[in-house]
Chain A
Amino acid sequence: MKLKLKIWRQKNSSSPGQFVDYTVDNISPDMSFLEMLDVLNERLIEEGKDPVAFDHDCREGICGTCGMMINGVAHGPLPGTTTCQLHMRHFKDGDTIVIEPFRADTFPVIKDLIVNRNAFDRIIKAGGYISVNTGSAPEANSTRVAKSIADTAFEAAACIGCGACVAQCPNASASLFVAAKIAHLNILPHGQPERRQRTIQMINQMIEEGFGSCSNFRECEAVCPKEISVDFIAFLNKEFIKSIWK
């Protein structure tokens, strides 16, 4: 396949960026999207040019490191898929592909397609945990957890923290990310003692970071590579109201 690429290039967070056009040839449909960019980068390096910087690590869809806007969609056209798991068989010969970093004020661009998502770590730090010191845990089977509860907690916990939800949302809201973590911990029996304070602290931190509010566009759910449901945002809202009114 032969493809035209329009890629956002930006030297660092303080310089302005711009789109630069590239052409890549001999792209196999079995290549992953990132392997296609590898091919471009190898050529740029050998031509003495600066390769395109992009974040990636496990390349098996679980670490949450990779992520870019592909033709305006976070992680590209395939539902439930991270950028590294998107393969070129989903594009056609001769296509033009526009590639940009995740766009949100809360995710400042570091270079080219790389953004800073540390705001997510700060939200977890604000209360996204169950306080249990190492060594003080009781026997694991002493608390039974209904299978349906455990399964729902798992569905929420499947979030990989990639930030696609924020990037796609017109409000740059982190509601799905925050809701997933709060739901994971708040529905398990082990998470009950801190339920209220966790909810308030994480939501406050989310607001303080500058993420927008949810206005039910549901774009987050549509691009989430782990297909986490917006039902969790409804749960989050309920938890918030219960938390402030006790």
Chain B
Amino acid sequence: MEIKLTTGSSLEIEESNYKFDARVPDGPLEKRWKNKKDQLELIAPPNRRNFRVIVVGTGLAGASAAATLGQLGYRVTVFCYQDSPRRAHSIAAQGGINAAKNYQNDNDSTWRLFYETIKGGDYRARESNVYRLAELSVNIIDQAVAQGVPFARDYAGYLDNRSFGGVRVARTFYAKGQTGQQLLLGAYQALMRQVDKGNVTIYPRHEMLDVVLIDGKARGVVVRDLVTGEIKSFAAEAVILATGGYSNVYYLSTNAKGSNATAIWRAHKKGAAFANPCFTQIHPTCIPPSGEYQSKLTLMSESLRNDGRIWVPKKKGDKRNPKEIPENERDYYLERIYPAYGNLVPRDIASRAAKRMCDAGYGVGPNGIGVYLDFSDAIKRLGKEVIEARYGNLFDMYEKITGDSPWEVPMKIYPAPHYTMGGLWVDYHLMSTIPGLFVIGEANFSDHGANRLGASALMQCLADGYFIIPNTIADYLAPMLTEKKVDTDHPEFKKSIENVKSTIDRLLSTKGKYSVDHYHRTLGKIMWDKCGMSRNAKGLSEAIEEIKGLREEYWNEVKVPGDNNELNQSLEKAMRVADFMELAELMCIDALAREESCGGHFREEFATPEGEALRNDEKFSFVSCWFWNGEVGKWAFAKEDLVFEFVKPTVRSYK
């Protein structure tokens, strides 16, 4: 197919005839996972130690998978770039984790969690995967509580819940504003228990730089020891990537500074299809940037929208102190436009509404980039004590960063890149298009369609890691029991090491003018302006050309000080940014090819008269999958059609 750019040139995209077999079982939706499990191959306990499994990443997905596989008796090797597995970015998740426990008796059910997740994702996810996620949600809570995760409780000692965007029940379990940290500590402690038992070996401060394929199967990884610079290789019978998302392509995002796409991108370049790269989530409640030096953006939990009311002044450019703006001169625009869900509309809807208000001149703060999130009504209604208990630590965090107290003045918030629904394509077994390469958590594309609902990321990571991968990986490994094991003497390992070394040498020898951060910031600005909250053909076309130019300049002008044989943070960043520069181009191409608006992907050309997303199910009810074709810019395209047997895609209304 040909994609025309508004700049005059066009992209020739090869259409691949790859036939995706998602290995989804048939039968009634609620029996599918059970039926699948009954059919999966097993490996007898004494035989499991014959299998080596590599896990890259120690967030909720990676840590829970590694702990469980260790417990089952596999020989597990784990890598993370952080100094300790406990620091992976899952730790920063604040608000909570969903589970269809129906503890509040508000008529919640597995079906409702499934339905709301499919609808929230704007009907761009696989029904069977999402149903399984909803089903497993209840087991996650049981597991976490047994590990000692200190979830909030009511005065009778039972678990407490709150509500999140896009739903009308209270099914979110939470531990103040630290749900991610507490769940990760649970998984990390389970992991360290397996280290103690000798089932798992951990290599912290090691970054994966390549996946090694032998006879088309993933058989190991090449990593760099971030302290000594040594390039090492490890062989295994299967590799699991749990390396998170790629929001840092925008430079400014809510992700940790180290979060990167290198592992999934190198796997993509070895043959793993990349699915829906343009599906990114811009989170509505973040602290607005304050200057050019800004290094990252801080999220304020979505849970704040349970009690906070979002508004802007009715008069454009109203610079009055918010306290002096009387009630009838305020526009509580979410409550006005979406009365059924009000301030708890899903993230994509809330973000775009904030952007529309600010673009139209109603924004607040020094640059007009912000809307108010106001707690004064809630403080009046519930008292300071209740609000303190619910959000105290979030209020403190806001005050530390901005110097303003939310007890005195409303918070100012603005959307920021937060999560990527896109990722490596996986089947129902969570295996990529490379046999033996599994992808779990945010790194895969599987469950959230075009928009993720709040408190569902933690749920997906732990469902994948604790309950799905331990079953499906056995099915892959079982037939390999009597096969000869590979080791790192194999020429494919040597070749991969050489490739990694040559990339490092090239970056270190360029000795150009500007720092890696300079290029990363420039890339981020292109992506935010042209492939961010709203996109159009003109902007995307320009972005594609600009990224190509920037990438060329990068490889000729970047300055990476130091050498390889030491701890070299500039070199680490240089490799990550080189990968972001390629991924960014694919995101823009995908966004240009998807001529519809759905979830977080909003094409200005495809909107209702009220400015809401206009989906095109007839033409775009599929997963866009991209195969690396030897060089950047030359991807091959294939589709996995989405079939809806149980829900009927409708207009996604929250009014």
Which residues does A use to contact B, with CB under 8 Å?
A: 11-12, 28, 30-32, 34-35, 38-39, 41-42, 44-46, 48-51, 53, 55-65, 78, 80-81, 85, 87, 89, 110-111, 114, 116-118, 120-121, 124-141, 143-147, 150-151, 153-154, 157-158, 160-161, 184-185, 188, 190-191
Contact = CB atoms under 8 A, between A and B. Distances in A.
Nearest to A12: B566
B514 A46 contact: yes
25 contacts: A12-B566, A12-B567, A44-B561, A45-B561, A58-B87, A60-B92, A62-B92, A63-B89, A63-B92, A78-B400, A111-B566, A114-B567, A118-B84, A121-B86, A124-B86, A125-B196, A129-B190, A129-B192, A132-B190, A135-B139, A140-B145, A144-B157, A150-B150, A157-B185, A161-B86
Nearest to A159: B185
B157 A134 contact: no
Interface in B122-162: 139, 141-148, 150-159
B148 A185 contact: yes
Contacts of A57: 82, 87, 89, 256-258
Contact of A65 (B87, B145, B181): B87
B84 A120 contact: yes
B227 interface: yes
Contacts of B196: 125-127
A50 B552 CA distance: 25
Instruction: Give the residue among A57, A81, A138, A144 with the most B Cβ atoms within 10 A.
Output: A57
B266 to A, nearest CB: 21
Given A41-B515, A125-B196, A154-B176, 16 more contacts: A12-B566, A32-B401, A39-B293, A44-B561, A46-B515, A48-B559, A48-B561, A58-B91, A61-B400, A85-B397, A121-B86, A125-B193, A129-B147, A130-B146, A133-B71, A135-B466
B403 A184 contact: no
Nearest to B153: A150
Contacts of B139: 135, 137
A134 B150 contact: no
Interface string B235-246: 000000000000
Contacts of B152: 150
A31 B291 contact: yes
Contacts of A129: 147-148, 189-190, 192-193
A60 B82 CA distance: 16
A11 B202 CA distance: 26
Contacts of B156: 144
Contacts of B290: 28, 30
Contacts of B181: 62, 158, 160
B637 to A, nearest CB: 35
Interface in B488-545: 513-515, 517-518
Most buried by B among A12, A89, A135: A135
B35 to A, nearest CB: 19
Interface string B151-193: 1111111110000000000000001101011100100111011
Contact of B570 (A45, A128, A135): A45
> For A39, A128, A134, A184, which residue has the most chain B Cβ atoms within 10 angstroms?
A134
A3 to B, nearest CB: 14
B567 A110 contact: yes
Contact of A130 (B84, B142, B147, B154): B147
Contact of B559 (A11, A45, A146): A45
Given A134-B67, A147-B154, A161-B84, A85 B256 contact: no
Contacts of B144: 140
A118 B145 CA distance: 27
Given A137-B146, A144-B158, A150-B151, A50 B567 contact: no
A45 B82 contact: no
Nearest to B141: A140
Contact of B400 (A48, A62, A87): A87
B607 interface: no
Interface string B266-306: 00000000000000000000000011011110110000000
B6 interface: no
Contacts of A136: 146
Interface residue SS majority, chain A: loop
B68 interface: yes
A145 B101 contact: no
Which 6 pairs show the lowest CB-CB distances between chains A and B? A144-B157, A129-B189, A137-B146, A154-B150, A137-B142, A140-B145
Contacts of B396: 80
B562 interface: yes
A44 B189 CA distance: 40
B578 interface: no
B103 interface: yes
A133 B190 CA distance: 8
Interface in B247-274: 254, 256-258
Nearest to A132: B146
B467 interface: yes
Given A39-B293, A130-B189, A140 B566 contact: no
A128 B86 CA distance: 13
B82 A65 contact: yes
A151 B160 CA distance: 12
B148 A58 contact: no
A134 to B, nearest CB: 4
Interface in B216-242: 227
Given A117-B83, A154-B175, A87 B401 contact: yes
Contacts of A55: 83
Nearest to A140: B145
B561 A147 contact: no
B400 A81 contact: yes
Contacts of B470: 134
Nearest to A55: B83
Given A50-B562, A51-B570, A147 B155 contact: yes
B148 to A, nearest CB: 5
A134 B82 contact: no
Contacts of B515: 41-42, 45-46
Interface string B75-95: 000000011111101011000
Contact of A134 (B190, B202, B513, B566): B190
Contact of B92 (A58, A120, A150): A58
B569 interface: yes
Contacts of A140: 101, 141-142, 144-146, 159
